[in-house]
Each structure stands twice: as C-alpha cells, then as structure tokens.
Chains A and B, each alone.
Chain A
Amino acid sequence: MNLFSKLFFFLTLMTTQLVLSQTSEILEISKKDIFLVSCNHPIITKANQNGLISLKLREIPSFIFLDVKCKIQAKRENIKLEKSTLFKEKQTFQHNLNKKISGPGALVATLSSVLLFYTYIGLIAS
C-alpha cells in the first residue's frame, strides 16, 4: 500500500467514526428534548412570560395545539408539569379589565337598555 492509499483509508475510518458519533449524539439530544420541542416553543414561552393576553389571534390555535402536545409528551415521559395558572391569570385580568364599561361599549349598553326599557314599558302600558 502506498502512502496515498493509507491516508485515504485512515481518513475514511475517521470520517465514518465522526459521523457515527455525531449521529448518536444527535439521537441522544433529540430523545432528551422531544418533550422540550412543544413545551419550549416560542409561542408557549411567550404565553408563559407575558401571559395569554399577549397572544395574537392567529397564535391561539397553535398555542392550544402545542399546549395539549406538551402535556401528552410530558405524560409519556413521566415528567410532572407545574400546574399552569395562565388561564386563571387571563380570566382574572379580563374580569378586572371589564368591570367598567367605557367608550363604544358604554354607547351600545345605553342604546340597548334605553330601547328595551321603553319597548317593555310600552308593552306593559298597552
């Protein structure tokens, strides 16, 4: 064997080993992080950091899908997730936000109630 073929043989072996080691590494990482793919998705992270209020309309279906997927994967991997308070926080926020009517909401409420009041008064009177 000349020097060139020895070098070629050595390089081939090294490359194969390198590729194999990298593949197994990737496999290990992906096994560990399957669960993290949906639970750490940017939309989930955004909701966790800024609350459900921060989600845009088009992000809501993705959030629901990823949230369910995250829970299913966590169950498969026997990982206990912390109980999410996102929904409760959102509900509390909106409840507090909507305690008062203002702007166009007040206009609609006034129109509707005045209209109904006079209609029913007329109905009773007639």
Chain B
Amino acid sequence: MIKKISYIIFIFIFSSSIQAQYKISYRLGLGMGFTKPDNFNLSLSSIELSKIGSTWFPLHHDLSINIYPSLRIGYKKLSTKLLTYNRSSNNYILPIVFHGINIESFFTFRNRFEINFGLSPMLGSAKFINNKLTVTDEKLGVEGKTTAEIKNSTLGFYSSIGLRMYLMSFLSIDSSVGYIYAKFDEKWKSKANENPISGSIDMTKPFFQVSAVIGW
C-alpha cells in the first residue's frame, strides 16, 4: 500500500505540468522531543529492567521537492535507530522511528530568511530490543548472536513552524518548533503470543529541531 502511494506521488511529481522551478533540498539535523512513558516504565519495573527516559533525540532528515511556488513536498524521517536511542538496563534499547510525507509551505523575507510551516502525517514504530544476546551450543561449544524484540506501531502527525537562514546559494540552516501527535498503545507485539510488557508511550508532546539544509 505504502509502495503504491509513493509510486503515485513519484509519478505526480515528475509528470506535473506546473511551470515552477523544482527545487530539491535535503535536510539533516537533530531533534529533541518528549515522551510520557509512565505505563511502559511500570511494565519494565515489573520485570526488573530500569526505566527509560522521557526525552528523545531523533536524527532527522528529509528530502523535499518544490512543486509549486512556496510549497514543497517530500519524505521525512525522525529516527533514534542510530546512536540516540533510549536505553534501559541489560542492553535493552528503545529505538523509535517516525517517517512519512512532509508538506511544507514557506515565504521569504529580508534577504536570507524564510519562515516555513510544515504538516506531516507519519507512521511510527517503536521496538524494545536486545540485540546483544548470545546463545551457546554446549555440545559443540559454538556461540551465536540472537535478538529479542517486541514492537509497536502507530499513526502520528507532526506540525511545525520554522525559520531558515540561507548562508550560501546551496546551504542554509533551519530550526523549528513543532508538536507531535502520536501514541504507542498498550499492545506490544512479539513472536511469542504473550509478553510481559504492555504499557503505552504517549508521544504527544512539543518537538524542536535544528538542521542543516543543502539544496538546489
């Protein structure tokens, strides 16, 4: 389904008869958001794992194409999969990923500034995972790595207002204030039918980000 939608968007963008210049831009930065993982932490406490923090620092990147004067559309991803995941004890980590379509309108002022307004319907996924488990075959004395994980998914929405400053013709810096509307419910899925973790994580909190943008 997602593949079909992205295919339709791709076709729409590249066959559009709009005469405006297509401006491509790639944004990479760091975000800071808040969560309310109280129920999830209660579950962790019940199996003697330490609590996870209520702040998350996702790496953020998006690729946008200008499809209309003062409007761009693209793909956006917020992820703590790499380095910035929240940690529990015993090598358990909680990577959270949100990705989806980013629609952004903007206007310029002064010589180098731009204010942008973003709307992003997003698909979120969270995994509580331990990928440093080892299994030993005692008869042969062979060790192998294995992973234990439970996962959860949700639909989310992100809206933001940001300020961009153009440093050069192809480089700018961007910061924004926004709000994420999403909640991971109590149903965590695992390969086994039952698991001891059932708490929800509320992501509906303010979100800030700073990023560098390269573009054409």
Interface residues of A (CB under 8 A from B): 52-53, 55-57, 60, 87-88, 90-91, 94-95, 97-109, 111-113, 115-116, 119-120, 123
Contact = CB atoms under 8 A, between A and B. Distances in A.
A105 B106 contact: yes
Chain A CB within 10 A, most for which of B20, B22, B109, B166: B22
Interface in B169-185: 169-170, 177-179
Contacts of B65: 57
Size bracket, chain B contacts: 20 to 34
A71 to B, nearest CB: 15
B123 interface: no
A111 to B, nearest CB: 6
B73 to A, nearest CB: 10
Please report whether the interface of chain B is mostly helix, strand, loop or mixed according to DSSP. strand
28 contacts: A57-B14, A60-B216, A90-B169, A91-B169, A94-B23, A95-B111, A97-B20, A98-B106, A98-B114, A99-B109, A100-B70, A101-B106, A103-B69, A105-B106, A107-B105, A108-B71, A108-B104, A108-B117, A109-B105, A109-B117, A112-B105, A112-B118, A112-B119, A112-B160, A112-B161, A119-B179, A120-B179, A120-B206
Interface of B: 14, 20-24, 65, 68-71, 103-109, 111, 114, 117-119, 159-161, 166, 169-170, 177-179, 206, 216
B108 A108 contact: no
A116 B105 contact: no
Nearest to B107: A101
Given A60-B216, A112-B119, A113-B117, A104 B21 contact: no
Contacts of A119: 159, 179
B105 A115 contact: no
Contacts of B206: 120, 123
Contacts of A103: 68-69, 71
